[in-house]
Amino acid sequence: MDKNDIYREIENLRDEIRYHNHQYYVLDQPTITDSEYDSLIRRLIELEAEYPEFYSPDSPTQRVGGAPTEGFGEVVHSSPMLSLANAFNHQELMDFDRRVRSMVGDEVEYVAEFKIDGLSVVLEYENGSFIRGATRGDGQVGEDVTENLKTVRSIPLRLNKPYSLEVRGEVFMSKENFERLNSRRELDGQPTFANPRNAAAGSLRQLDPRITASRPLDIFLFNLERIAGVEIQDHLQTMDIMKDAGLKISPFLYWTSSMDDIIELCSEWTDKRNDLPFDIDGLVIKVNSMKQRQNLGATSKTPRWAIAYKFPAQQAETRLREIVVQVGRTGVLTPTAMLDPVHIAGSTVARASLHNEDYIREKDIRIGDNVIIQKAGDIIPEVVRVQMDKRTGDEKEFQMPDYCPVCGAHTIRIEGEAAVRCTGNACPAQQRRLIIHYVSRDAMDITGLGPAIVDQLLGNNLIDDAGDLYYLDYDQLINLERMGDKSVNNLLSAIEASKQNELRRLIFGLGIRLVGTRAAQLLAHKFRHLDNLIEATEDDLLSIEEIGPKIAQSVRGFFREEQNLRLIDKLRQAGVNFSNEPKPTGERDDTLVHDWKGKTFVLTGTLRDYTRNDAKALIEGRGGRVVGSVSKRTDYVLAGENPGSKLDRARELGVKIIDESWFNSML
């Protein structure tokens, strides 16, 4: 394998890991097993170590987790919430012990704790009062979930002692409470949670604290990050302080100076973990001494004084009776194995994920096979391998359907992707997600039309797709729950106003696979009218520099589907703008369009179409420069939504202020 192939593999790994980070840490909807994710990370670490010339500061190995989601305020952590390095076998624990002793000497004490399978949070107290709580987020910045954490009864709102301190822990849900919650949701006709971790994470990140209060959440605290006026010697002392203060600390602490004892402990709890009333997916081993921790320090990603021992996946054999296909909210068709029930990892399993068509082919999985399934932690199980020696010849091969089993639309598999997708925008399995996407801020920006209202509209059969929004009237809306006269009139006004949106917003709002805000802007600029885009050939699309074969194929497939064309006809009849005629936002200086070289920009606020890094790259790629503060030498301040004090400073100094529309015209 030459260097170009190595570089491509590294970049592909980075992209895949970023995607799974987003699914796991932002959306709380993991799509692969922990063991699969760990193998991706390990492979990337190996390649980057072997080929340091391909180092990248934004690689997933250089950071922790994913970005915080919208909807909550941001909290900058006082110190990074680093992840832990993982050990998967006893030899890796011995290697950790050897590294520690080589740096601090042989006199080392370790503390072992349960690795609780929940959601990491940080709690802050001032003079004994709880003042702030946040999620981990990306390790540097988390979400402010203070009001939600106040509803967790095991978190004291006032400590027993007037400490000013910061602690970190794990919010979780016990197995018994998880089963009760799912039973209640099933009776109410609501979707059930996949596992206790997802239930805890989803509950804590509700925008309405009343929903969080109705969920049986709990917490264990495991780290004291800072405390005013107290000198800390070791970890065990911090646990005593937290316990005395009334905080609920980790329920298991094991102290030893022998790594052999730790290894024996890991083996013991590998067998006993299912006996606990809550889920753990390993043990955490920490150096006890704070002085030694300081000497050991940390890498940019992990502390050198701690490691997590991950339990091996548990396996069992059963028979695969049938393969059914489910359609997710993104239109992906997912094959699922229906199994003879078998007990594994503390619960009875009757189905397992088969991921995609390639997974079935690679493992030669057939209906009627005896298969080995595994369950790492409490995720949805997966088929690991087939017991080939037990085949009878009666097993049947499986084929992915050519038509969506829900709505009957054509299915498509884009070249280079594993997923088979439904192409029908009217598919009931997708409609809720697509409508919520259509009305979102970056799309048609229909204020007041949140997920709860969309659910009511669908539940009352008032709409089938986004096009039906433009045919709603006052009498239909006034009967909805929590919709008064003012709310109805405001919503109808927002729907009407959205008809005048720019074409790029409509294109993005249609929910075409792979078409984000940037691609939508490029398509609107190129074709000027939605009808031109509908008639565009693949070659027409590929003539746009940033549009590749996958996006072109996705766009063409979207406009070939009859259901999508019916949606567009509804929008046309409703008077939605299909043309790319930009509305003037003020007088423009056309001499700015190509005058980038040497110009200094300051960015402030949130941009609709670009991340800060995207905007910076565009400016620097044209010879400009982005700086962090406004001065008399600043040429332009690019102001997005909710700009900060930099905008006031620019006005004071008379620096030219431009909005995003102006910036786009410069591009």
Residues labelled as active-site residues: 115
533 vs 526: CA distance, rounded Å: 9
- Rounded-to-integer distance, Cα 346 and Cα 274, Å: 5
CA angle 47, 52, 57 (to 5 degrees): 95
Burial class (CB in 10 A: 0-12, 13-18, 19+), 375: buried
| Distances 611 to 52, 321, 340, 606, 647 between C-alpha atoms, Å | 27, 47, 48, 8, 18
274, 196 contact by CB (below 8 A): no
Collapsed DSSP state (helix, strand, coil) of residue 55: coil
* Cβ-based burial of 442 (10 A; exposed 0-12, middle 13-18, buried ≥19): middle
Q: Are strands 382-386 and 306-310 parallel, antiparallel or unpaired?
A: unpaired
Give bridge partners of residue 303 from the DSSP assignment.
298
Q: Distance between CA 203 and CA 211 in Å, rounded?
A: 7
Instruction: For residues 168 and 249, give the distance between their C-alpha atoms in angstroms, rounded to a whole number.
Output: 10
Burial class (CB in 10 A: 0-12, 13-18, 19+), 645: exposed
Q: How many CB atoms lie within 10 A of CB 516?
A: 12
| Closest to 97 in 3D by CA, of 301, 270, 296 | 296
* Angle, in degrees to the nearest 10, between helices 90-104 and 259-272: 150
Tell me how far CA of residue 65 lies from CA of 140, 142, 283, 486, 614, in angstroms.
Answer: 10, 11, 20, 42, 20
Separation of alpha carbons 96 and 462, rounded Å: 61
Tokens of 66: 């994913």
- Helix, strand or coil, per DSSP, at residue 282: strand
| DSSP assignment letter at 62 | G
DSSP H or E stretch at residue 120? strand 119-126
Query: Which two tokens mark 97?
Result: 């012990």
- Count of CB atoms situated within 10 Å of the CB of 481: 8
DSSP string for 301-368: SSBTTEEEEEPPPEEEEEEEEEEEEEE-TTSEEEEEEEEEEEEETTEEEEEEE--SHHHHHHHT--BT
Q: Using CA atoms, how far apart are residues 182 and 294, in angstroms rounded to an integer?
A: 44
* C-alpha–C-alpha distance, residues 209 and 415, integer Å: 44
Radius of gyration in angstroms for the set of CA atoms belonging to the chain, rounded to a whole number: 27
